[in-house]
Chain A
Amino acid sequence: MRGFNITITVLIASAIFSYLFAFIAGLCRISENPIIRHVTAVYVEVFRGTSLIVQLFWLYYAIPMLFGIQLGSNWWTGVIAIALNYGAYMSEVVRGSILAISKGQTEAAIALNMSKFQRMRLIILPQAVRMMLPEFGNYTIQMLKATSLVSLIGMTDILYYGDIIRSSNLSQAPIVYFLVLIFYFLLALPLIWLTRKAESISKKGVASG
């Protein structure tokens, strides 16, 4: 079935960018600088407070109109919309996990005279990331589902081709959409498996062996 590569590439790219945004925004929200904190909070609340589909259309129509720039292509528009949206959600996971690491860990690191950056890199983040893994897995499955929206801005993904076949031959609709669903489920299976694995890793707290 065609459209496969669009769905996959959009998923991979938006996953990578969303993790990036999540870490940047999550760290900014616990920054000591109030301006950085508040600006990031606005980003997070705006993207969490509105629908992804609205954000997608907004970026698709409004950005070129408002600034006279093209985001390059529909592919980029889709990736950026999904990444910004889920980056906002996951930044809360990043922030929550960092704050959940016990104060004693920071104190022990200070007692060993580590700098702020060393404390974050060597002590806090390695533990926080373990806590984040299951939630990141869940959000990645959500992102896979969200990639179906790019067909609405004219991307020729798997759903787009499904729609084409359906509109040319309506009686085939059941089998076409069922196959599309199966296709998404097959993509989701490894993600589900990884998420469960991540859950067991994070429950142990420490990956021994």
Chain B
Amino acid sequence: MKWNWETFFDALPFILPGLGVTVGLTFACYLFALVFGFFWTFLRRIPIRTINWTVTWVMEFIRSTPPLVQLFFIYYAWPMIPGIGVALSPFTSAILGLGIHFSTYIGEIYRSGIESVEKGQWEAAKALNFSTVDKWRKIILPQAIPPTIPMLGNYLIIMFKEVPLASTIGVAGILLMANTYGARNWAYLEPLTIVGIIFLLLSYPSAILINKLEKRMNRRFDKEMAFVKEEVKNA
């Protein structure tokens, strides 16, 4: 059996409607991970050793076990747990499963951003007698967030490529549509190639875009840093 353009154009309209689900799920997971990431960063800043240790290892556990198994756990196992178990739709399960998995990475990015703020800046905020809220709002976060933006952008692309895992629990994205088409017509080559092309078309330009953004951010950030430091000095 060889490549067949007829199958290709037959499969295309069948698969494309799944793109909305795939992209929608990507953004939903991403938003969830962005918010949940804060939760990890916050927990790790609690200065109690047992809590810090536990959080570190829980994050390590989530990070080093397969998201596919985590997905199965939430979809199949969670409803079976007596007392707290609730049956979730495939889409919701996917948001939770992939969202939590990647929130541990996002949390690390936040942390690296905060740690990248120089010690002198913390001391200056203290010396100027800022309130805790003002310290974070005016000094730390404006310096901690910009360098993390390209990394966060990269994770949007990474998650986009992980979202097809959700097809295994029945989320009707492009991969499930392609597999369905393949099973019905016993022609997998063309539909799967379509899926590959769609991913490439969306992720490659995005990667280039983020790369450019990173370079521009670095330039702008250098200028801003100089400005912020000047401000602190003058204050």
Please report A residues at the B interface, Cβ cutoff 8 Å: 45-46, 48-55, 57-58, 61-62, 65-66, 141, 144-149, 152, 159, 162-163, 166, 170-174, 176-178, 180-181, 184-185, 188, 191-192
Partner among B1, B3, B199 whose Cβ is within 8 Å of the Cβ of A50: B199
What is the size, in residues, of chain B's interface with A at 8 Å between Cβ atoms?
40
In the complex, which residues of chain B have a beta carbon less than 8 angstroms from the beta carbon of A178? Answer: 73, 77
In the complex, which residues of chain A have a beta carbon less than 8 angstroms from the beta carbon of B2? Answer: 65-66
A173 touches B80 (CB 8 A): yes
In the complex, which residues of chain B have a beta carbon less than 8 angstroms from the beta carbon of A185? Answer: 61, 64-65
A149 touches B68 (CB 8 A): yes
Min CB gap A96→B, angstroms: 13
Min CB gap B102→A, angstroms: 12
Distance, CA A37 to CA B81, complexed state (A)? 54
In the complex, which residues of chain B have a beta carbon less than 8 angstroms from the beta carbon of A148? Answer: 66, 68-69
Question: A159 and B192 in contact (CB under 8 A), knowing A51-B164, A54-B164?
Answer: no
In the complex, which residues of chain B have a beta carbon less than 8 angstroms from the beta carbon of A48? Answer: 207
A61 touches B182 (CB 8 A): yes
Of all chain A residues, which has the CB nearest B201? A49
Distance, CA A147 to CA B199, complexed state (A)? 21
Please report B residues at the A interface, Cβ cutoff 8 Å: 1-3, 60-61, 64-70, 72-73, 76-78, 80-81, 161-165, 167-168, 175, 179, 182, 188-189, 192-193, 195-196, 199-200, 203-204, 207
Is chain B's interface secondary structure helix, strand, loop, or mixed overall?
helix
Distance, CA A51 to CA B26, complexed state (A)? 13
A163 touches B72 (CB 8 A): yes
Distance, CA A104 to CA B78, complexed state (A)? 58
B64 touches A184 (CB 8 A): yes
Question: A62 and B188 in contact (CB under 8 A), knowing A54-B164, A148-B68?
Answer: yes
Which residue among A54, A147, A178 has the maximum number of chain B CB atoms within 10 Å of its CB? A54
B60 touches A192 (CB 8 A): yes
Partner among B68, B81, B179 whose Cβ is within 8 Å of the Cβ of A57: B179
B192 touches A57 (CB 8 A): yes
- Ordered by A's residue number, 9 sampled pairs between the chains whose C-beta atoms are within 8 Å are A48-B207, A50-B199, A51-B164, A65-B188, A145-B66, A180-B69, A181-B69, A181-B70, A185-B61
Distance, CA A87 to CA B188, complexed state (A)? 25
Min CB gap A185→B, angstroms: 5
Partner among B73, B77, B168, B196 whose Cβ is within 8 Å of the Cβ of A54: B196
B164 touches A53 (CB 8 A): yes
In the complex, which residues of chain B have a beta carbon less than 8 angstroms from the beta carbon of A192? Answer: 60, 64
Partner among B3, B68, B81, B167 whose Cβ is within 8 Å of the Cβ of A159: B68
Distance, CA A46 to CA B207, complexed state (A)? 12
A54 touches B192 (CB 8 A): yes
Which residue among A148, A184, A191, A192 has the maximum number of chain B CB atoms within 10 Å of its CB? A148
Of all chain B residues, which has the CB nearest A64? B1
A54 touches B195 (CB 8 A): yes
B175 touches A53 (CB 8 A): yes
In the complex, which residues of chain A have a beta carbon less than 8 angstroms from the beta carbon of B81? Answer: 174
